[in-house]
Structure 1
Amino acid sequence: MDRRLLLNDPNTLLSHIETLQREMASLTTKVNMLNTKVTTCNTEVTKLNTEVVTLNTEVTKLNTEVTTCNTEVTKLNTEVTKINTEVTKLNTEVTSQQAKINKLENQLSQKNQEGTGSVYTVWGRKSCPAVNGTTTVYTGITAGKSYNETGSGVNTLCLPHNPDEAPLYFSTRVDAAGGYVSYLYGSEYQFTYQKFAQDDDVPCAVCHVTIATSSLMIPAKTTCPSEWTMQYNGYLVSDYFNYKAFDYICLHNDAEYMTEGARRHNDNGHILYPVQAICGSLPCPPYKDGQYITCVVCSL
C-alpha cells in the first residue's frame, strides 16, 4: 500500500494524533511525578541543610565547651601540681619535725633512765613553778649575811624550815677560840611590790627539774634562749649599794612573804633591794640609766 495515501487518510492521522496525545499525557504524568520527587528531594535537602547548620552550630558550641574544659583541666592540673609541691614540702617538714620529736623523745627517755635533772632556787615563792617536770625539793627561808657585816659568806641561802642541829660537842673548840664565827640572818624586803610590803620576810623554794640537765639565771631578760624552757622570771635584787656586798638573786615576779609569825618585823639582817643600771662602763643604749634590771631562770 502507498504510505502517502495512508498519511492523507484522516482516520490514520487521527489515530496518530491520538497516539501522540496519549504518549504526551504519559510523559506529562511522568514529568509531574519527577517534579514532585524533585520538590520532595529539594525539601529534604533544605531540611538536611538546616540540620547540618544546626549540627555545625552544636559542633561549634561543643568545641567551645571542649576548649573551656581543656582550659579548666590545665588550670586544675596546675593547681594539682602546686598542691603536690606543697604536700611534698609539708611531708618534708613533717619528716623533719618527726625526726626532732624522735630525738627529743630519745633524749627524754635517756634522761629518765639516767635519772638526770637540774636544781635551782626560786626566790620569793613558797613552792616551785609547775613547768618542765619541776618538783619542789623543799621550801625554806631566804637568809644570808647581814647588810652591815664585812665578813661572812656573800651567797644567799635557802634555809629549810626543819633544821638539823649540830652535835653538842661541835661548838666546844669554837667557843674556846673566842667566838670567831660567821653569822646568818633572815632576809627582808626593803621595798613594797604587789603581794609583799617593806620589811616582810622572804620565802624561797629549792626546785628539781627532772627532764633538764642545766639551769641558768639570765639577768636583764624576761625570756629564755631558743630551746630553753622558762622556769620563772622576775627582778634582780641584792644589798643596798652603800652597804656590805652579797650576791645578786632573781626574785620571782609574783613574790610572796613569809606567813610564819607576825609580818614586817623590821629586823633588817639580810635585806634585799631592787637593782638599777648605771650608765658609764655599762653601755647606754641598750641599757638606760636607772633602769630596773629584770631576770629569768631557764632550764634545758
Structure 2
Amino acid sequence: MYIPEVLFIFTFYICSCYGGEEEKRLILHSGDDIAQEFQKLRQELQSLQMNHTREIQLLMTNYTQEVESLKKNYTQTIESLKRNHTQEIQALMSTQTAEIDSVKATQKREIQALNDTQSQKIKSLKNELTTLKQDQGSTYIRWGKTTCGGNGTHIVYTGFTSGSPYDKEGGAAKYICLPKNPTRAKYVDGIQNIGGYMTGTEFDIYLNIFNPFPRNMQDQDAPCVLCRSPKPTTVMVPGRTNCYPG
C-alpha cells in the first residue's frame, strides 16, 4: 500500500497570561521533528496494513475451511440421502415385486381353478351329450334280413315277418315283425276259434321264373330285424337299395 509523503506542520497555540493580558505564541516544529513524526506514522500505517493483511488472510483461511467443511457435510448429506433413498427404493421395489408375485400366483391359481371347473363342466356336458345321443335315435325294421347293415346301427331283436292270413279278417292291417321268443299275457293250450289270426310269412317264388335271391328261398320263412339308429330320423325308401344324397 502506497502512502504519499505529506509534510505535516504541527502548530500549537500556547496561551499565557501576564498582568491580565493574554499572549498568544505560535510554536513551529523543526524538520527533524516532522520527519520523526512522519516515520512514526508510516510505521503505524505499515503495522496496521500488516495486521489487516493477516486478519484478511485469517478470515480467508477460516472462510475456506468453513466452505470445505460445508462442502464435505453437504456431500456426506447427499451421499447419505442417496443411500437412504436407494435403500427405500430397493425396499419399495422388493415390496412391489413380492406383491406382484403374490397377485400373479393368486391369479394363476384362480385361472387354474377356473380351467379345472370349465374342463369338468365341458366333460360333464360331453357326457350328457353322449347320453342324450344314446337316448335319442330312431328305429326301423328290415324285412327279409337278420342284420342291420352297419352305419352305427345295432339290433334290437330279430324275428319273423308276420301278418293276417289273406283269407281271414280282423288281424293285422300290415306286416309286423314278431320276435322269436314272445311272452303271452294269457295262454290256453289248444286252438280257440275267437279273435284274429296271426301267421308267419314265407317266400313263394312264382313258377321259379324269377328268383331275386342268391339262393333258393322257396317256402322259406321271411325273417325280419328291428334296428336302432343313433340318428334322430329314419325313413324307408321303397324301390331303392341305397339312400339319396344328403
The normalised TM-score by structure 1 is 0.34
Structure that is richer in helix per residue: 2
- In our comparison, the structure showing a higher alpha carbon Rg is 2
